[in-house]
Amino acid sequence: MSTTTTATPVDLETIGDVVTPYALRIAATVRIADRIAAGVTGLTELAAATGVRERVLGSLLRYLACREVFTETAPGEFGLTPAAEQLREDHPQSLRFDFDLTEVRSRVETAHLSFLAFAGAGGPGSAYAAHYGRDFWSDLARDPALAASWDRFMSRVTRAAAPDVVGLHDWSTHRHVVDVGGGSGTLLASVLRAGEHLTGTVLDLAPAVAAARTELAAAGLSDRADAVEADFFEPLPDTGDAYLLCQVLHDWDDDAAVRILRRCVDAAGPGGHVLVVERMAGAHTDPRAATWMDLRMLLLFGSGERAAAEYRALMERAGLQVADGAGDGQEMALLDGRVPDRA
């Protein structure tokens, strides 16, 4: 995969700027766009509504107005540009949650500040751990608000990807699908709607299980699906004939990924299936997106993206039979691993 995209000189001053990204995040965190959309347009009133000192807020808004994010319609009066509209919570392409400094995505991005401490010899397992003193999963376990933010973020990601994932596989061959690490149940709900005969279970940690039960009930699927608390490094319920891992393994290094797969193999039993859905390194149509995700996984988990052949090798290490060439050339692929029959 070539990473050369253009002969146009790169403006390093622009792409290296950190003031503008954080100015945007501050505006998103204190919900400036939502307040202006609601009619609070004066600087004095905006300062009172946000709890930010008027002098400070005025500087921030004028900085962003000069960059065409907001507009100063009259001295001390501010309005929204098309760009600022995306900072509204209710905008169809809203980025407010992504930029909010109190939510999980911005917390992850801040860990870039400790990348060098992670990258050196003997560094911790991720830049996130180097920055915060604990790995990402331990951070979620100790902070319910952060865990809830992560579940909201992943629900949005999964909801966007679900139609593509459902279309990758013939679900009619299964009876009961167990979505391992299935978060809020968004993907399982889509799978069950694609196969009226199917039942299913979401397996995840406690905060996600509560969200999944709510999601499945709202989808009218409580009679066909449930959510159960489970740790995928421990023995899993053996209720399914298909165990689905959607964008789970890229969060883990090879040895951990094999341990997760083996738990699924044990639960599925002979003749069962383990279905691995991931984006495949080397097959992306957009190398910028591919390298962004690889760097993000390295930063957050100390892992990274893998090619289809690498995922097949992990599945085979776990004892699964996978078709030769499965996933090759696909940007997003579902690898169907079958648990061999006992001799």
What pLDDT was estimated at residue 7?
A: 62
Q: How many other C-beta atoms are found inside a 10 Å radius of the C-beta of residue 255?
A: 9
Q: How far is CA 249 from CA 134, 158, 244, 277, in A?
A: 20, 15, 11, 9
Say whether pLDDT at 158 is over 70.
yes
Place of tokens 């957009």: 286
Q: 284 pLDDT band (50/70/90 cuts)?
A: confident
Residues 70-80, mean pLDDT to the nearest whole number: 97
Residue-level pLDDT at 120: 85
Handedness of CA 35, 38, 43, 49 (dihedral sign): negative
What is the arithmetic mean of pLDDT over 228-237? 96
Catalytic residue set: 250
Tell me what percent of the residues of the chain surpass a pLDDT of 90: 78
Checking if the pLDDT of 268 tops 90, the result is: yes
Backbone angles phi and psi of 221, in degrees to 5 = -115, 15
Length of the chain: 343
Q: How confident is the model at residue 290 (pLDDT cuts 50, 70, 90)?
A: confident
The pLDDT value given to residue 289: 86
Pairing outcome for strands 199-204 and 70-74: unpaired
pLDDT of residue 274 exceeding 70: yes
Cβ–Cβ contacts within 10 Å for residue 33, how many? Answer: 27
Looking only at the bridges linking them, the beta strands covering 242-246 and 273-279 are: parallel
pLDDT above 80 for 269: yes
Helix (H) or strand (E) holding 200: strand 199-204
Q: Which residue has the tokens 């039979």?
A: 321
Question: In which band, very low, low, confident or very high, does the pLDDT at 10 lie, cut at 50, 70 and 90?
Answer: confident
Q: pLDDT band at residue 83, thresholds of 50, 70 and 90?
A: very high
pTM of the model: 0.86
What is the rounded CA–CA span in Å between residue 294 and residue 305? 5
Q: What are the CA-CA distances from residue 14 to residues 26, 65, 92, 325 (Å)?
A: 19, 17, 27, 42
Answer yes or no: are the C-beta atoms of 44 and 76 closer than 8 Å.
yes
Mean pLDDT of 233-243: 97
In the three-class reduction of DSSP (H, G, I as helix; E, B as strand; rest coil), residue 95 is classed as coil
